[in-house]
Amino acid sequence: MNIGDFKILKKDSRTKARRGRLMTAHGPVETPVFMPVGTQATVKAMSPHEMESLGCRILLGNTYHLNLRPGMDIMEKCGGLHKFMGWNGAILTDSGGYQVFSLTDLRKITKEGVEFQSHVDGARHFLGPREAMRIERILGSDIAMVLDECIPYPCEKNYAAKSVARTIEWAKICRDEPHAEGQLVFGIVQGGIYPDLRERCGQELVKIGFNGYAIGGVSVGEPEDVMIQGVEQGIAALPEDKPRYLMGVGVWTQLVESVARGVDMFDCVMPTRLARNGTAFTRAGRYPVKAAVYKDDLRPIEEGCTCYACTHFTRAYIRHLLNVNEILGARLLTTHNLHCFLRFMEEMREAIEQDRFPEFRERISSEYKTIDKAHAQKK
Residue 317 CB contacts under 8 Å (≥ 6 apart), including other chains = none
**Sheet strand arrangement including 212-215:** 33-36, 265-268, 244-246, 212-215, 184-189, 143-145, 90-94, 58-62
Backbone φ and ψ for 118, nearest 5 degrees, come out as: -60, 135
Contact criterion met (CB below 8 Å) for 280 and 302: yes
Amino acid making up residue 79: G
The two beta strands, 114-117 and 58-62, are: unpaired
Catalytic residue among 94, 142, 148, 264: 94
Alpha helices in the chain (DSSP H): 48-53, 63-68, 72-78, 81-85, 97-102, 129-139, 157-176, 195-208, 224-235, 252-259, 270-276, 308-312, 315-323, 327-353, 357-367
Instruction: Region of 152 please: left (phi>0), alpha (psi -120 to 50) or beta.
Output: beta
CA–CA distance, 103 with 367 (Å, rounded to integer): 38
Catalytic residue among 142, 148, 264, 267: 267
Contact criterion met (CB below 8 Å) for 271 and 340: yes
- Annotation marks residue 267 as catalytic: yes
The two beta strands, 107-109 and 114-117, are: antiparallel
CA dihedral 361, 53, 58, 9 (to 10 degrees): -50
Q: How far apart are the first and last CA of the chain?
A: 52
CA–CA distance, 364 with 80 (Å, rounded to integer): 40
Count of C-beta atoms within a 10 Å radius of residue 128: 18
Please identify every residue annotated as catalytic.
Answer: 94, 267
